[in-house]
């Protein structure tokens, strides 16, 4: 179907296009935040949260309040503070966060469980990428800004 636009009291053809109705449009959701219910400590939170992340690919984050994990009354402090843990957190990381949850001043602190991080070394991949870039630069033809501008104008 042609797409026409009115300019200067005449119709100008913009080209071919496809028209969609409202019912054909879909919202592409990037994911949502879930809450892990009935957890007694950080280790249970990590276990249940990683199950949620693995079972549903639309879940991008599992969240909970620290005050719900210490089995004590909330004192409404620590509002707005966050701790993030990967789904494949080590025992030391879990115990540190559990110690934070047991402190009364961190009752309203929220804890986020993010998808698992890879255990492979990112240093080796970045070194490989740098060597590829170095090799590309070595084999490339250098242009000055003026030469490149002139070349692109001529195309």
Give pTM, 2 decimals.
0.51
Domain holding 127, by residue range, is: 122-154
129 and 89 fall within a common domain = no
102 and 140 fall within a common domain = no
Percent of the chain with pLDDT over 90: 0
110 and 128 fall within a common domain = no
Residue 16 lies inside a defined structural domain of this protein: no
**Token pair of 93, please?**
């990381």
Digit-coded pLDDT (tens) for 27-73 = 666 677 788 777 888 888 888 888 888 888 778 888 887 766 655 66
Max Cα–Cα distance, the chain, nearest Å: 73
Q: How far apart are CA 116 and CA 103, in angstroms?
A: 27
Question: Worst-scoring range by mean pLDDT, 60-64, 81-85, 115-119?
Answer: 115-119
Asked whether 77 and 108 are in contact (CB, 8 A), the reply is yes
25: buried, middle or exposed (CB in 10 Å: 19+, 13-18, 0-12)?
exposed
59 and 77 fall within a common domain = yes
As for how many domains the chain has, the answer is: 2
Task: Give the pLDDT score at 102.
Answer: 79
Task: Give the pLDDT score at 70.
Answer: 57
Digit-coded pLDDT (tens) for 3-34 = 777 888 888 887 776 777 777 766 666 677 78
56 and 105 fall within a common domain = yes
| Mean per-residue pLDDT over the chain, rounded | 75
Q: DSSP labels for 14-71? A: EEE-----GGG-------EEEE--S--SHHHHHHHHHHHHHH-TTEEEEEEEGGGTTT
40 and 89 fall within a common domain = yes
150 and 93 fall within a common domain = no
């Amino acid at each position: 179907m042609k797409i026409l636009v009115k300019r200067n009291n005449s119709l100008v053809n913009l080209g071919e296009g496809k028209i969609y109705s409202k019912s054909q449009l879909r919202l592409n959701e990037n994911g949502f935040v879930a809450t892990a219910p009935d957890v007694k400590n950080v280790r249970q939170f990590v276990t249940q949260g990683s199950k949620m992340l693995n079972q549903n690919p639309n879940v991008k984050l599992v969240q909970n309040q620290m005050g719900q994990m210490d089995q004590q009354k909330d004192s409404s402090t620590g509002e707005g503070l966050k701790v993030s843990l990967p789904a494949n957190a080590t025992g030391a990381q879990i115990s540190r966060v559990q110690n934070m949850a047991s402190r009364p001043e961190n009752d309203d602190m929220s804890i986020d469980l993010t998808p698992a991080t890879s255990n492979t070394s990112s240093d080796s991949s970045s070194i490989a990428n740098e060597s590829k870039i170095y090799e590309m630069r070595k084999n490339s033809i250098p242009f000055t800004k003026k030469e490149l501008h002139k070349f692109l104008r001529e195309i």
